[in-house]
Amino acid sequence: MSGMQAVWPSGTECIAKYNFHGTAEQDLPFSKGDVLTIVAVTKDPNWYKAKNKVGREGIIPANYVQKREGVKAGIKLSLMPWFHGKITREQAERLLYPPETGLFLVRESTNYPGDYTLCVSCEGKVEHYRIIYSSSKLSIDEEVYFENLMQLVEHYTTDADGLCTRLIKPKVMEGTVAAQDEFSRSGWALNMKDLKLLQIIGKGEFGDVMLGDYRGNKVAVKCIKNDATAQAFLAEASVMTQLRHSNLVQLLGVIVEEKSGLYIVTEYMAKGSLVDYLRSRGRSVLGADCLLKFSLDVCEAMEYLEANNFVHRDLAARNVLVSEDNIAKVSDFGLTKEASSTQDTGKLPVKWTAPEALREKKFSTKSDVWSFGILLWEIYSFGRVPYPRIPLKDVVPRVEKGYKMDAPDGCPAIVYEVMKKLLDAGSRASAVLLTSSVNS
């Protein structure tokens, strides 16, 4: 092994770049794509002691693995970095100057709203091809049809197929980074060949959630196929690369497939959402200790998010998942952002969102603590919808006048007091108060 590298601390996660078979008894063999955790530095900094996913430990070569890093905050990832949105024909031609055959971009059509235009530099001039959107399909020549823009661009990258030239070099929109490049750079890109999709375990507006097998391990996979929706989920995936806690659902990696879309691979939570688990098991199965443990699990996760300056913004029992061994883990980071940034409130669940957050469109740990108070009520009511029998339009006005829900049947008085204090205070002190109160 030649060359020196920065020393990685114990606990650092890395992904294998190559296969390593090992030659000595103390070596830890691994395959390209395996995820390993550094245990310690050896006397030779070119070798580490590490462990694999099943806990086996051994020595590995440092230059065979890549450190996993969080996608940097503020980077705008794009599945379609060549898509420039609403720009004019003239602006497109300026962007494709100086002329370079095969340089291209896609824009929204100015003459045909709802359609797109492929702009290609070819032998000193720019050709503009209308992309017709019809019956949920896209086509340039009305002979070959595509599910989305990514498929269309991928096709014409490999074959000109009637265009003046094949697409060679994308003109990347300023300020964006190709998602595949960034996930690869930071060590989170997985290979589709290693993933088997087994069965649908959930459905959403974005696509399906499937049970999968990744290298012999059960995983959950969000399969996101629509261009615009997939773009939105990139933000969730990039946030998840920065979060590591035993009570947060763990991202395992991301697969970007131009032909079929985006796949977000996470640990598999066998017992599903907390709200469904509470409703299906009920009081006869789940005792006080179990409810308390779920509450503390979520509290630990939210305390970690706060310590790392993240606000979840969508905390509710439906967004907490339960593992095979009854550990509750917070999931669904689609609305999670750095603290105190503003938010379009149109997407927010009114019954779980603090009134001031809805009113001022500003979020902080205080608004998450409010949501946590509502989630506690969900847990101790075994999954009932908050504010029962109150019309949705009346919830915020009544809450702003001081209304509080009654304690769920059978809820311990001390837990109900904590719920009320969480809704009153909405501060870190309340989160700490929960931990101290319920432990007592």
Higher pLDDT, 150 or 165: 165
Q: Which residue numbers belong to the known binding site?
A: 222
Cis amide linkage into residue 98, ω under 30° from 0: yes
Handedness of CA 98, 99, 102, 106 (dihedral sign): positive
One of 34, 227, 297, 314 is an active-site residue; which one?
Answer: 314
pLDDT at 431 (0 to 100): 45
**Tokens in use for 352?**
């779980």
Residue 165's nearest CA partner among 118, 121, 106, 130 is 121
Kind of pairing, strands 195-204 and 176-178? unpaired
In whole angstroms, give the CA distance from residue 146 to residue 131: 10
51-86 per-position pLDDT tens digit: 998 999 999 999 999 999 999 877 889 988 999 999
pLDDT at 344 (0 to 100): 54
119-129 per-position pLDDT tens digit: 999 999 999 99
pLDDT at 207 (0 to 100): 82
**Tokens in use for 391?**
């019309």
pLDDT at 355 (0 to 100): 86
pLDDT at 433 (0 to 100): 47
In whole angstroms, give the CA distance from residue 225 to residue 56: 37
Q: Does the pLDDT value for residue 146 go beyond 50? A: yes
Position 342 confidence tier, pLDDT thresholds 50, 70, 90: low
Q: Does the pLDDT value for residue 435 go beyond 70? A: no
Mean pLDDT (the chain) is 89
pTM for the whole structure: 0.84
Kind of pairing, strands 65-67 and 76-78? unpaired
Kind of pairing, strands 103-108 and 169-170? parallel
258-309 per-position pLDDT tens digit: 666 799 999 999 999 999 999 999 888 999 999 999 999 999 999 999 999 9
In whole angstroms, give the CA distance from residue 432 to residue 415: 14
- Provide Rg for the chain, Cα atoms: 25
CB atoms within 10 A of CB 436: 9
**92 CB burial (10 A radius; 0-12, 13-18, 19+):** buried
pLDDT at 343 (0 to 100): 54
Position 428 confidence tier, pLDDT thresholds 50, 70, 90: very low
Residues in the chain: 440
Handedness of CA 10, 13, 19, 21 (dihedral sign): positive
**302 CB burial (10 A radius; 0-12, 13-18, 19+):** buried
Which residue, chain included where needed, has tokens 């898509």? 83
pLDDT at 430 (0 to 100): 42
Side by side, the strands of the sheet bearing 217-224 are 195-204, 207-214, 217-224, 261-267, 251-257
CB atoms within 10 A of CB 154: 15
Handedness of CA 301, 248, 230, 210 (dihedral sign): negative
CB atoms within 10 A of CB 15: 20
Does the annotation mark 314 as catalytic? yes
Q: Which residue numbers belong to the known binding site for ATP?
A: 222
In whole angstroms, give the CA distance from residue 77 to residue 114: 23
Residues above pLDDT 70, as percent of the chain: 91
pLDDT at 347 (0 to 100): 65
Q: Across residues 320-348, what is the average pLDDT? A: 78
End-to-end Cα distance, the chain:
55
